[in-house]
Structure 1
Amino acid sequence: MAELSSNWKKLQATLSDRKQTKAPTGTTKATRTKNLVKGGTARPSGIRKLVEKRGALDFALKGHQSPNKMGSVQSSQMCDDRQEGRIASAELWTQNDDTSSESLAEVYDLGIKDIPLFMMSHNDRVNHGRSPNVNVGKYVALDCEMVGIGAGGHESALARVSVVDFHGRQVYDSYVKPTERVTDWRSHVSGVSSKEMRFARNFIEVQKDISSIIRGRILVGHDIKHDLEALRLHHPLRDVRDTAKHLAFRKFGNGRKPALRNLARELLGLDIQKDVHSSTEDARTTMLLFRRNKSTFDNEHANRYRQIITTDRRKGPKQHKQRR
């Protein structure tokens, strides 16, 4: 009986030692679980990148938000900064991705929900030339101002040209020295006079700049044929979107090509060209018209060129006559 009691005490001692040996392992697991719940371990690189992209996207869609109340001047400045911040963040979010900032802006209507903000929240610089800090995407809008040459000033020559990107930012703006003698400055419309010509660039330089900007891009304009003729440039029709020829806009022209100011008033609620014209403002208005109706432009363009491709296929390959 004494031996049984002695053996029982040894067994209890052995079991007690085993429990104490396993205790640290259990504590480690508990600590590890606690760390996982708290997020103490490092996230995998894939998850971290996804979180970073999501944060950039949220910033692009919502912009900066400040809890502080501001006066009217400060609020206006905040809106300007927010517009630029959204575009810059959209570009950052898509920098290492196949998605362009233009596609992101199109999906989420970035920059076109508030029309006055789109039109006025840009720091335009007249006769600045090429804007160095603008990352130009797939779409650009172009507009020109003309002066009169020849007898009576009835012929037109280029005097100013402006280009904006998909987001309405100024890409290029320059006065242009006409190659012919000006007989009518048309200052009440063009806003150009002999005074501006002191700082104007020569025609060849401007032509080269514009050619490099529009090459390989979709060119948006209003009756763009006349602008290209003034620049003596050609652009593939497949890559042109003309708001003066868009079928859905014809009803605003009373049987003729609708004026840009009429389209702006009817479709955007904007009053433009009230006094002298601004080629930058007109280019931005044209881009806004295109963006707000991009789906109908895309459908019209696809149908037009689908018909051309189908017609060419029906004709079949040309048959060469065999020589006898």
Structure 2
Amino acid sequence: MSSLTSNWSRLSAKLKSSKKQKQDRHSVSHGKVKKTKKIPKNETTLHTEIVEKAIDNVIKEESLLFSILWANEGYITQNDLQNRTITLPSGSNLNESRKTAPGKYLAVDCEFVGVGPEGAESCLARISVVNYYGYIIYDKFVKPTEKVTDWRTWVSGVTPKHMKDAVTFREAQEEASKLFDNKIVVGHAVHHDLEALFLSHPKHAIRDTSKFSEFRKISKGKTPSLKKLADHFLNIKIQSGEHSSIDDARASMLLYRLYRKEIEQQYKLKRSN
């Protein structure tokens, strides 16, 4: 954002100059009206507008996930998704202990960095946990247990500077274990996140959006990506650039709540067989 601010300061002078040229478009020369050529829009201005629009869209999509989760109780319907008005909690609303407490359902997502030769192996670098209403219960960067050979910032969003206040793996593991105890854990391919934390969780208390039959239909029975599910079922764009484990956790929770009844029925059938 600092680069955008500096761009605007440089652009302001250019915009004033452009405005003056527009006013003098019809200038008099030797008694004749001379038309000046139309000045094309400055390329830097176009680039800045494109970048700002992209940032606004990302912020809007991220806020929309939280807004829908927070505003609705119980099941979420397609009608609820049609309301694209973003209303985020603030002030006294955030004091609603019922909505800010961990509760029964928690969604988790992790980000990873590359370790080993060419960064081919993955190592935990961030864990985010949100509750039923999308409220952030836990969000910490984690110090990798091995030397990082590829930060994968373009996709993980993790950089070396995030390690300044990062917790140790042991701390993250212990905190996550306490949070997940006696909870329903929601996530997309959530076994990867649990494995990264070296944690186990009862199968009957896991709700994995990657395994729900209705979701798998759009990928012909294969495991669909969370990005694809969010786009298809929520009409919300995620993972447009660097991933956010908070947004991914919220997307998983929103998908679960949208099909909660059907997902619970599917899990009951599996347990009875």
| TM-score bracket, shorter-length normalisation | 0.5 to 0.7
Structure 2 residue corresponding to 1:121, chosen from 85, 88, 95: 88
Show the counterpart of 1:277: 243
Higher CA-based Rg: 1
Which 4+ stretches in 1 moved above 4 angstroms? 111-118
Structure 1 residue corresponding to 2:181, chosen from 211, 215, 227: 215
Show the counterpart of 1:205: 171
Show the counterpart of 1:266: 232
Q: Distance in 1 between matches of 2:75 and 2:242?
A: 35
Q: Distance in 1 between matches of 2:176 and 2:126?
A: 12
Gap regions ≥5 residues in structure 2 = 1-59, 91-96
Structure 2 residue corresponding to 1:169, chosen from 117, 129, 135: 135
How much has 1:255 moved relative to structure 2? 3.7
Q: Distance in 1 between matches of 2:84 and 2:264?
A: 25
How much has 1:134 moved relative to structure 2? 2.5
Root-mean-square deviation (CA, aligned residues, Å) is: 2.8
SS at 1:146's partner residue? strand
Contact 1:112 1:292 in 2 (8 A): no
Structure 2 residue corresponding to 1:140, chosen from 102, 106, 111: 106
TM alignment of 1:168-317, pairs within 5 A: 168-307=134-273
Q: Cα distance 1:156–1:197, how it changes in 2: closer, same or farther (>3 A)?
A: same
Show the counterpart of 1:38: none
How much has 1:195 moved relative to structure 2? 1.2
Q: Cα distance 1:266–1:236, how it changes in 2: closer, same or farther (>3 A)?
A: same
Contact 2:75 2:258 in 1 (8 A): no
Deviations 1:185-243 (A, max 9, x none): 10000000111111111111111111111110000000011111111111111100000
Deviations 1:257-296 (A, max 9, x none): 0000100000000010000000000000000000000011
Q: Distance in 2 between matches of 1:270 and 1:234?
A: 31
SS at 1:143's partner residue? strand
Q: How many residues align?
A: 201
Contact 2:76 2:258 in 1 (8 A): no
How much has 1:251 moved relative to structure 2? 1.4
| TM-score normalised to structure 1 length | 0.57
Gap regions ≥5 residues in structure 1 = 1-75, 88-103, 124-130, 308-324
For 1:155, the aligned partner's letter is E
Contact 2:142 2:169 in 1 (8 A): yes
